[in-house]
Structure 1
Amino acid sequence: MEKTPRVIVEPPDSRGLRAVSVGGTTVGSAWSPSGLRKVLRQLGCPESIDLEDRRVIVWREAGSEVWPDRTWRRRTATALMMAGLILSMVLLTVVGRPDAMGALTFAQRMTGFLFILSGAVQGLAALAALDYEGKRQFRYSGAVVLVGALIALITESIFLFTWLEEREPTLYFPAYLLLFAWSLWALWRLLKGQVWRAIPHPKKFATGVALSGLLASTNFAYSAVYQPTSAPFYVTLTAKFGTPHTDPTRPFIHVPLTFRVENTGKVPAYLLVDKYLVYGRSAEYSKDDEGLKDWKTALESGKDAELHVARSDRKTISAGQFEGPGYWLNPGEGHVKEKVIQIPRSVGYDLLEATLAVVAMRMDRGKIDLRQLQLAHPSWQKKEGRFHCAECIDMLTHEGEIRHNNNIINVTRKPRYVTVLWQGTREEFDYSYAISSYKMDFAKFPDLKELRREIERESDRYGVESRSTSTRVSVAALMASL
């Protein structure tokens, strides 16, 4: 027994853990007598060693009966620390993955990868928490946990700040609210334990963390607000009548008409909805040159006020969709549609007018489920369910879910939908569109005033713009060219 090295059991620290050393070198630590016996067995001592044998074991400041560790409290704190870090890791990965894999801009992809990287750090911090809340065998485990808690505080603050803009209930809200409260508790516990003492350069560490948080916030603002606004967005429309031809067997004149939609901007564009209309105008001429007297009525109805035209009527000759809801154009790409308008040789029109109108959305703002949007739901068919409306005028409904290209927006908002309604009469038809949280249901209409405000807000958020063009040609000139 004389050859057995003397084991020194240090006094318990603030958590109740007692260090065990031999010859001035720490060889282990213990929370309880059973833990001490485990350390002694590793040193070669017999399992039945007497812990009161002062020849073998020296107790510093506190005897063998002093073991202040509260196991249940320590294990609960460990579980809470690890659970918060793991939940934060999962949330950051879920938020960052869609942007990292599918965002259209470099800044948005970098934001996604930054969230995934932060999630990976959270995973390492969860492992480090097991050591930090335990025997602290690794010197910097507390610093790693501190980094994880700070990441959670920064990211959950961003989530909450973004959520407060709209204050909409989402499935994610309880998660980042809970994690925000958890991060405050974790930081309080870590700072109370003076974890920074183990960090070689605590001021530089704090500066690095602050700069990282500032970088994350700046990158989010740049990718979500500035960049999708600064890039030019133009969709150019043209309409042009061609050289007419006569029908050799029937009393028709064939007038070629070419429509073109081109993306002349710097970002891809969705075409949410489009239409073309061809009118024939018949004018009643004013013999006393009083056509301008009724200029107020003309301007109110969107018509021209002409000196020699007392009254004019126009009739729809042809109408349709250019491509239909749910197609897109890359920068520099254009679509062309060629039509042939047939009019009788004895037609009474003096002018032909063609109009083309589209509603375009920036693709760097959001991603639409085009398979949903391209489906047409007739209101007159009962099988269409919530799209069916027996009391409404006949219409076609298109609807597709839209996701913002910055996934932080998606997890802090209710789902958004693009809705397109086509309706009309035998004379003409028109469309209306909306981006809102309202999922089309003719049996459950929301508050229309609030819905209009939301549509205006969301149209601006997703960069929706309307474009139109028109062209006219004289029927007399067409006849003369035959």
Structure 2
Amino acid sequence: MMAGLILSMVLLTVVGTPDAMGALTFAQRITGYLFILSGAVQGLAALAALDHEGKRQFQYSGAVVLVGALIALITESIFLFTWLQEREPTLYLPIYLLLFTWSLWALWRLFHEQVWRVIPHPKRFATGVALSGLLAATNFAYSAVYQPTSAPFYVTLTAKFGTPHTDPTRPFIHVPLTFQVENTGKVPAYILVDKYLVYGRSAEYSQDDGGLRDWKKALENRYDAELHVTQSDSKTISAGQFAGPGYWLHPGEGHVKEKVIQIPRNVEYDLLEATLAMVVMRMDRGKINLLQLQQAHPSWQKKEGRFYCAECPDMIIHEGKVRHNNNIINVTRKPRYVTVLWYGTREEFDYAHAISSYKFNPRKSPDREELKREIAREEDRYGVESRSTSTRVSVAALMESL
């Protein structure tokens, strides 16, 4: 019996310490301290078990062991209930099953010995234990579900062209462009991935009044249908990252990036368009290993190990482990990873992102349908959202302002 209590003490301490020491919210820290406190009680119960199974010099040793067995049953029930939601293989599962079975056996034995008879008010004792278990379960639900969802999460993006200037020595125009990202909510935010693109658009015009052209195709591909434009074409002028994977913003904090776009004076563009897009994650839902995520792995370099793939399209891979804000989730699930892929051509580049249990390997193909379901589930769990903004300016208006 003593061995089961010691194992329960170690498990509760291991589960509670990360939340107690490093959780971002008060409720999460309270959950961690409750598990550490429960582990301390299990340690006392283990000492009491030594006396209860020996000389029984302490009158209440059996009752203390009973408390320890009840704590083990309640906590292992929480672990198993959480594990059953997704039933993923984890190294902790055999320990949960072993301790759950042990707690049932220990309670059966202690009730058979009627150890509660030495307790002055056994009904009040039972009520107190039940309320403590209910409090632990409620606090877990609050810290894991309600509290991380209730705080508003807003990340605002803006893009703005400035006043252009002519180059005194070269036939170019310099167009200032300012991108800004601001965390206007109450929750810190990770930037998982971002990009900016600047396009030049040229078009052929017509005075025909026959209605919107190609409106079906425009709706299908999410671009504009215009009456007097017969054909348009866009070309990428500038592209890059705004901050890069692993940047973060605290509430009220902003980040500005200023650029200067160079275009020829005799440019044939009608419009300039700038877009800024990024994927953000709530920091109160999880903690990312930023040292891992910020490291770039080019797929064309052999030294990158499992990320190397000579026959694959060239891409740059970022990957970092992510831990949930509640450590109970971490010990009842497989490890999760944030994966970011950069790929493209000489004309344009794009990104893909995911949070899943899949460790990316370009030479292996997982079950795509299962992976899609997992990615959707994990993005909701970790509060992942996409943001974008765009702005346009007439090249004719720029020329007039010179």
Q: Distance in 2 between matches of 1:290 and 1:352?
A: 27
Name which of 308, 312, 320 aligns with 1:400.
320
After TM superposition, the structure 1 = structure 2 runs for residues 205-220 of structure 1, keeping only pairs within 5 Å, are 205-220=125-140
Match of 1:339 in 2: 259
Match of 2:398 in 1: 478
Q: CA deviation at 1:291?
A: 5.9
Q: Which has the higher contact order (CA 8 A, sep 6+)?
A: 2
Specify the SS of the correspondent of 1:169. coil
TM-score (norm 2): 0.99
After TM superposition, the structure 1 = structure 2 runs for residues 379-390 of structure 1, keeping only pairs within 5 Å, are 379-390=299-310
TM-score (norm 1): 0.83
Q: Distance in 2 between matches of 1:333 and 1:265?
A: 10
The alignment of Structure 1 onto Structure 2 pairs a total of residues equal to 402
Name which of 262, 283, 287 aligns with 1:363.
283
Match of 1:160 in 2: 80
On the 8 A contact 2:213/2:226 being kept in 1, the answer is: no
Specify the SS of the correspondent of 1:166. coil
Match of 2:144 in 1: 224
Specify the SS of the correspondent of 2:334. coil
Specify the SS of the correspondent of 1:239. strand
After TM superposition, the structure 1 = structure 2 runs for residues 296-335 of structure 1, keeping only pairs within 5 Å, are 296-335=216-255
Q: Distance in 2 between matches of 1:133 and 1:205?
A: 22
Match of 1:202 in 2: 122
Q: Which runs of 5+ in 2 are unaligned?
A: none
Which digits, 9 at most, give the CA deviation of each residue in 1:25-49, with x for residues without a partner?
Answer: xxxxxxxxxxxxxxxxxxxxxxxxx
Name which of 173, 182, 203 aligns with 1:262.
182
Match of 1:147 in 2: 67
Match of 1:246 in 2: 166
Q: 1:335 to 1:436 in 2, by over 3 A?
A: same
After TM superposition, the structure 1 = structure 2 runs for residues 106-117 of structure 1, keeping only pairs within 5 Å, are 106-117=26-37
2:378 is matched by which residue type in structure 1? E
Deviating above 3 A after TM superposition, structure 1's stretches of 4 or more consecutive aligned residues are none
Match of 1:137 in 2: 57
Q: CA deviation at 1:140?
A: 1.1
1:182 is matched by which residue type in structure 2? W
Q: Distance in 1 between matches of 2:215 and 2:365?
A: 39
**1:419 to 2:334 alignment:** no
On the 8 A contact 1:290/1:308 being kept in 2, the answer is: no
Q: CA deviation at 1:298?
A: 2.1
Q: 1:425 to 1:290 in 2, by over 3 A?
A: farther
Specify the SS of the correspondent of 1:237. strand
Q: CA deviation at 1:289?
A: 2.9
Q: CA deviation at 1:337?
A: 0.4
Which digits, 9 at most, give the CA deviation of each residue in 1:365-405, with x for residues without a partner?
Answer: 10000000001111111111111111211100000000001
On the 8 A contact 1:236/1:262 being kept in 2, the answer is: yes
On the 8 A contact 1:291/1:310 being kept in 2, the answer is: no
- Structure with greater Cα Rg: 1
On the 8 A contact 1:270/1:328 being kept in 2, the answer is: yes
Name which of 439, 444, 456 aligns with 2:359.
439
Specify the SS of the correspondent of 2:31. helix
On the 8 A contact 2:277/2:386 being kept in 1, the answer is: yes
Match of 2:370 in 1: 450
Specify the SS of the correspondent of 1:390. coil
Q: Distance in 1 between matches of 2:221 and 2:51?
A: 77
Which digits, 9 at most, give the CA deviation of each residue in 1:87-108, with x for residues without a partner?
Answer: 0000000000000000000000
Which digits, 9 at most, give the CA deviation of each residue in 1:81-131, with x for residues without a partner?
Answer: 110000000000000000000000000000000000000000000000111
On the 8 A contact 1:291/1:311 being kept in 2, the answer is: no
Specify the SS of the correspondent of 1:392. coil
